[in-house]
């Protein structure tokens, strides 16, 4: 039987790096795995996606540690045609291999040498993985008989015996690292010739072990963007000239492919030299709910929770994907996930207002304030506990010049009599205004709105980011002290979402060279959206994305580079504009703030209505001074008619000088 401690332990590991290189037990083969065509491909692959979308987990699943895992009951017959070598680029060490008075061609040779040593050890490790697995193609005795005398022509520091070669390569790596850290004080080591050495090593293995004659080795270079420009050109060259038995593949964030140049005259050419897979845009947008459900259920299974509608081995096996594509299976998996993390319906969301004294008093005050501006009706005319959804949205309706108190009262009376009305009819006031109205009522309170609770909400907040989804689940489990097992109460989930949102927002400062500027931008933009959510009339409700209109100033190249960084780190998402006022109007681009930050700012995570802001205001949000940003927000507050309690607790609660 599982315990709350078991669940928290299993969910605390939300990064691939925390699971090690053998991820067989933890990996859910994605439903689109076969479409990636990774194991049968002979053309290099470029895998793109933001942080947390599963790039690293996918590469580690493809690596020899997982493919030939000792815990894997059976090894596919074609596994030897796809032996994965995982290599993660080291940011600090890669940046150290430049300048400092050392010629560029020396650094080029040094980088190739480092790759030869690291990947050479991985090739040897892969043989050990195969021999230790249930695959009978290679045994330990064959490895002991390997003779690498011919490789000594590259360096006399190498060793001819299999068991000795790995330690020698490791010593060469240590020697190399010491030289890079002290290039003036140490003697430059002799360099191995990069991919040429690797090809020779593989050919020697194939020559001596007949079962590996058709073996293919696939290098998966993770975080390619961590390399400097010259190193990227070297890797591009390896990728362009990839051929059996050694194929290079790259994984990177969006907008991180800074150069297609190689060290030769020919540049890389998409399709001709490689194929690109964008995990988020091409696959995750349509598949994330079922993936999230399966990942959630596998974690619960690993914690010992019984009676789950999944078999862990089915989730791990690419041959079983078709079994998981039926509508009945998908419904069962998602229903089970919703049962573990239940959310509230719109009616239940509205009912929470009347079940809580502070919230119901807040609703009364807002109705009263709206009526005081219109001189019509009493609070009781619109405060109808029997019709919570209609009652909750009346302050917004009463604040609009287009709807008089008499109109609203008439429509709510029609609703009461079961007649056609604007609350539930074609006009659908409730559908268009409920969420924004509930958020407005919860905003002054010291607790999170249950709008952020539930499996569906967690999927929307995560927007294809598996790590964010797991963090939301983990913090929910951590907060739930009412029982030792799920379901997790929606109130605890909502508070967990607010905690996760705040924690992930702090991480923005670590997002590359513009991290601090991105962090400031999120605070400023989030505050602007927060103010938009507080406007009394909610005439444009749930604004959480924006489009840019031409102002008096144009965005500079530096500003455009900032947007590329925001997209690269998934602070913003980019979409083609969905609404045009006329056919003559040019296409627009819409930018959506990452929904994971919505609970922190108490705004909607749904892409409903956009905010149009000028280039001048965008420039101010990106690089304006504190006083300029404050003036911008004050201007929008006046435009939206915010005053008094609507500005609770302060005018701009998240734009403080210290945060900027």
Tens-digit pLDDT profile for residues 364-385: 999 999 998 877 789 999 999 9
Which residues does 578 contact at the CB level (< 8 Å), separation at least 6? 590
| Cβ-contact 433, 541 below 8 angstroms | yes
Res 9 pLDDT > 80 = no
Tens-digit pLDDT profile for residues 124-137: 999 999 999 999 89
Query: How much is the pLDDT for 488?
Result: 92
The pTM for the full model equals: 0.90
Tens-digit pLDDT profile for residues 406-421: 999 999 999 999 999 9
Stretch 451-464: mean pLDDT = 96
Helix orientation angle between 388-398 and 405-417, rounded to the nearest 10 degrees: 170
| Cβ-contact 236, 224 below 8 angstroms | no
Helices and strands per DSSP (H, E), number in the chain: 27, 9
Lowest mean pLDDT among 88-92, 393-397, 531-535: 88-92
pLDDT band at 648 (very low <50, low <70, confident <90, very high): very low
Query: How much is the pLDDT for 659?
Result: 47
Stretch 69-77: mean pLDDT = 88
State how far the alpha carbon of 524 is from the alpha carbons of 213, 378, 658, in Å: 59, 38, 13
- As a whole number of angstroms, the distance between CA 499 and CA 471 comes to 10
Res 514 pLDDT > 50 = yes
Query: How much is the pLDDT for 649?
Result: 42
| Cβ-contact 289, 333 below 8 angstroms | no
> Residue 489 corresponds to which tokens in the numbers above?
């109460």
- As a whole number of angstroms, the distance between CA 109 and CA 194 comes to 8
Tens-digit pLDDT profile for residues 335-369: 999 999 999 999 999 999 999 999 999 999 999 99
- As a whole number of angstroms, the distance between CA 516 and CA 577 comes to 29
Tens-digit pLDDT profile for residues 91-109: 777 788 888 878 899 999 9
Query: How much is the pLDDT for 660?
Result: 38
Query: How much is the pLDDT for 151?
Result: 97
Tens-digit pLDDT profile for residues 536-581: 999 888 999 999 999 999 999 999 999 999 999 999 999 887 665 5
State how far the alpha carbon of 542 is from the alpha carbons of 342, 374, 531, 602, in Å: 23, 25, 11, 11
Query: How much is the pLDDT for 647?
Result: 47
643 or 261, higher pLDDT: 261
Which residues does 269 contact at the CB level (< 8 Å), separation at least 6? 260
- As a whole number of angstroms, the distance between CA 184 and CA 222 comes to 31
> Domain locations in the chain?
4-284, 346-442, 508-659
Q: Which of 253-267, 367-381, 483-497, 595-609 has maximum average pLDDT?
A: 595-609
Closest C-alpha among 407, 361, 473, 383 to residue 10: 473
Average model confidence (pLDDT) for the chain? 90
Stretch 497-509: mean pLDDT = 95
């Amino acid at each position: 039987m599982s315990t709350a401690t078991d669940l928290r332990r299993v969910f605390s590991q939300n990064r691939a790096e925390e699971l090690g290189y053998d991820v067989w037990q933890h990996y859910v083969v994605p439903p689109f795995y076969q479409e990636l065509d990774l194991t049968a491909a002979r053309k290099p692959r470029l895998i793109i996606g933001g942080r947390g979308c599963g790039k690293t987990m996918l590469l580690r699943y493809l690596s020899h540690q997982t493919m030939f895992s000792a815990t894997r009951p059976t090894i596919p017959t074609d596994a030897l045609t796809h032996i994965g070598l995982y290599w993660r680029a080291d940011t600090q060490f890669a940046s150290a291999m430049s300048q400092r008075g050392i010629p560029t061609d020396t650094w080029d040779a040094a980088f190739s040498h480092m790759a030869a040593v690291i990947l050479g050890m991985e090739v040897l490790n892969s043989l050990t993985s195969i021999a230790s697995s249930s695959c009978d193609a290679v045994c330990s005795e064959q490895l002991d008989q390997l003779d690498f005398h011919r490789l000594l022509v590259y360096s006399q520091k190498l060793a001819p015996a299999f068991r000795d070669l790995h330690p020698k390569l490791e010593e060469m790596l240590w020697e190399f690292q010491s030289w890079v850290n002290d290039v003036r004080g140490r003697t430059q080591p002799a360099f191995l010739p990069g991919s040429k050495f690797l090809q020779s090593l593989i050919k020697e293995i194939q020559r001596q072990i007949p079962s590996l004659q058709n073996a293919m080795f696939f290098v998966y270079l993770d975080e390619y963007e961590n390399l400097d420009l010259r190193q990227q050109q070297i890797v591009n060259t390896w990728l362009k000239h990839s051929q059996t038995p050694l194929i290079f593949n790259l994984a990177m964030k969006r907008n991180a492919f800074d150069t297609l140049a190689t060290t030769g005259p020919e540049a890389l050419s998409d399709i001709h030299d490689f194929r690109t897979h964008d995990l988020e845009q091409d696959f995750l947008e349509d598949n994330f709910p079922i993936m999230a459900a399966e990942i959630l259920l596998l974690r619960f299974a690993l914690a010992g929770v019984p009676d789950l509608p999944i078999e862990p081995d089915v989730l791990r096996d690419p041959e079983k994907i078709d079994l998981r594509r039926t509508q009945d299976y998908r419904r069962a998996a998602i229903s089970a996930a919703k049962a573990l993390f239940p959310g509230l319906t719109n009616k239940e969301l509205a009912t929470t207002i009347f079940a809580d004294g502070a919230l119901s008093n807040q609703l009364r005050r807002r109705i009263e304030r709206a009526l005081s501006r219109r001189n019509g009706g009493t609070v009781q005319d619109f405060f109808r506990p029997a019709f919570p959804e209609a009652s909750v949205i009346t302050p917004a309706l009463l604040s609009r010049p287009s709807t008089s108190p008499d109109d609203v009262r008439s429509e709510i009376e029609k609703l009461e009599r079961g007649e056609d009305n604007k609350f539930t009819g074609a006009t659908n006031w409730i559908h268009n205004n409920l969420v924004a109205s509930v958020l407005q009522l919860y905003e002054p309170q010291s607790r999170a709105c249950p709008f952020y609770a539930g499996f569906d909400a967690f999927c929307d907040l995560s927007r294809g980011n598996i790590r964010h989804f797991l963090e939301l689940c983990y913090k929910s489990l951590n907060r739930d002290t009412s029982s030792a097992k799920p379901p997790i109460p929606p109130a605890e989930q909502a508070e967990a979402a607010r905690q996760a949102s705040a924690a992930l927002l702090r991480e923005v400062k670590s997002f590359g060279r513009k991290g601090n500027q991105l962090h400031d931008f999120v605070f400023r933009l989030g505050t602007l959206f927060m103010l938009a959510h507080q406007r009394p009339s909610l005439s444009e409700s749930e604004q959480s994305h924006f489009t840019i209109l031409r102002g008096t100033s144009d965005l500079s190249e530096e500003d455009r580079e900032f947007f590329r960084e925001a997209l690269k780190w998934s602070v913003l998402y980019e979409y083609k504009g969905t609404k045009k006022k006329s056919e003559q109007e040019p296409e627009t681009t819409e930018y959506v703030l990452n929904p994971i930050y919505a609970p922190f700012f108490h705004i909607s995570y749904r892409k409903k209505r956009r905010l149009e802001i000028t280039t001048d205001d965008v420039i101010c949000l990106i690089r304006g001074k504190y006083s300029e940003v404050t003036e911008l927000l004050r201007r929008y507050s006046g435009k939206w008619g915010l005053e008094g309690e609507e500005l609770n607790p302060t005018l701009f609660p998240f734009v403080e000088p210290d945060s900027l």
